[in-house]
Amino acid sequence: MQTWDKYVRKSGLLFVLSGPSGVGKDAVLEELSRIYPGFRRCVTATTRQPRFGEVDGVDYTFMSVDEFRERAELGEFLEYAHVHGNLYGTPKQWVQDQLWKGKDVILKIDVQGGLSVKEQMPSAILVFLVPPSLEELEKRLRGRLTENDEEVSKRLLDARRELDQIPHYEYIVENDTLLQTAEELKAVIIAEHCRIQRQ
Ligand code: ADP
Ligand code: 5GP
């Protein structure tokens, strides 16, 4: 036991990764897990329909609106929000369990969710992912081929509102090339672990 041990963080940290739809949050987290596999990514719940190839319990926990509302009333979500016309929510117990076990957790959630998490857990660290440009964002969103034209337009409209919330976040990372972005996210995680713990 060293005298400075009390200043060294031992518990897991909670990170929130937000950014407009199509900016590359999923792709960046996949790259991050390749170069820095120590973190846990939270599988959140949603009432939206699975996209082609999405797996229940891996990409999301897919559920009906009735089940979602029931769980929300039971207080099972750390936060939940309407995003692009569907409900999404973060499972509270799972997040707490991971942090207690000393694991870092990353939530890939929207800005309303991020701010709500920060209110309840001020030690959460908010990271905003931005595209190199709005043109590139639209290109990525359309290139993904998972939404129809109407949905793409809705997401692009929502993107502007989300980008207005950047000042409430603590870190901004530009997703230019995947590897560089994942490296920057890794640097944020490591820096946060080096922060002096104050009792
Ligand atoms: P989000 O999770 O933010 O909605 P995705 O991870 O699904 O976004 O990425 C949207 C699309 O952009 C995908 O087709 C993905 O392969 C592509 N993409 C993500 N990051 C990059 C990047 N750095 N350069 C080029 N394309 C990217
Ligand atoms: P998608 O439908 O493209 O997977 O996700 C749409 C948006 O919902 C993304 O911005 C994503 O970050 C957000 N999201 C996913 N899960 C949650 C959640 O549990 N809570 C909140 N508030 N947003 C979420």
Q: pTM here?
A: 0.95
Write down the pLDDT at residue 136. 96
For ligand 2, whether the C-beta of 116 sits within 6 Å is no
* CA 133 – CA 137 distance, rounded (Å): 6
- Residue 173: its pLDDT value, please? 98
Q: State in Å: Cα 48 to ligand 1 middle.
A: 19
Average pLDDT per run of 10 along the chain, which is 199 residues long? 89 96 96 96 97 94 98 98 94 96 96 96 97 96 89 92 96 98 98 90
pLDDT at res. 1: 85
Predicted local distance difference test score (pLDDT) of residue 84: 85
Give the residue, by CA position, lying nearest to ligand 1 atom 19. 24
**Local structure of residue 54 (DSSP, 8 states):** -
Residue closest via CA to ligand 1's atom 10 equals 22
Any idea which ligand is nearest the CA of 114? 2
Residue nearest to atom 17 of ligand 2 (CA): 109
Highest CATH level, class, for 5-194:
alpha beta
Span from the CA of 146 to the centroid of ligand 1 (angstroms) = 12
Cβ contacts of 166 within 8 Å, gap of 6 or more: 128, 130, 172
Sign of the dihedral through C-alpha 57, 60, 61, 63: negative
Is the separation of the CB atoms in 105 and 40 below 8 Å?
Answer: yes
Residue 78 has, within 13 A of its CA and on its CB side, a CA count of: 27
Tell how far the Cα of 1 is from the centroid of ligand 2, in angstroms. Answer: 42
CA of 22 to the centre of ligand 1 (A): 6
What pLDDT, on the 0 to 100 scale, is given for residue 63?
A: 98
Distance of alpha carbon 110 from alpha carbon 20, whole angstroms: 8
Q: Distance between CA 87 and CA 62 in Å, rounded?
A: 10
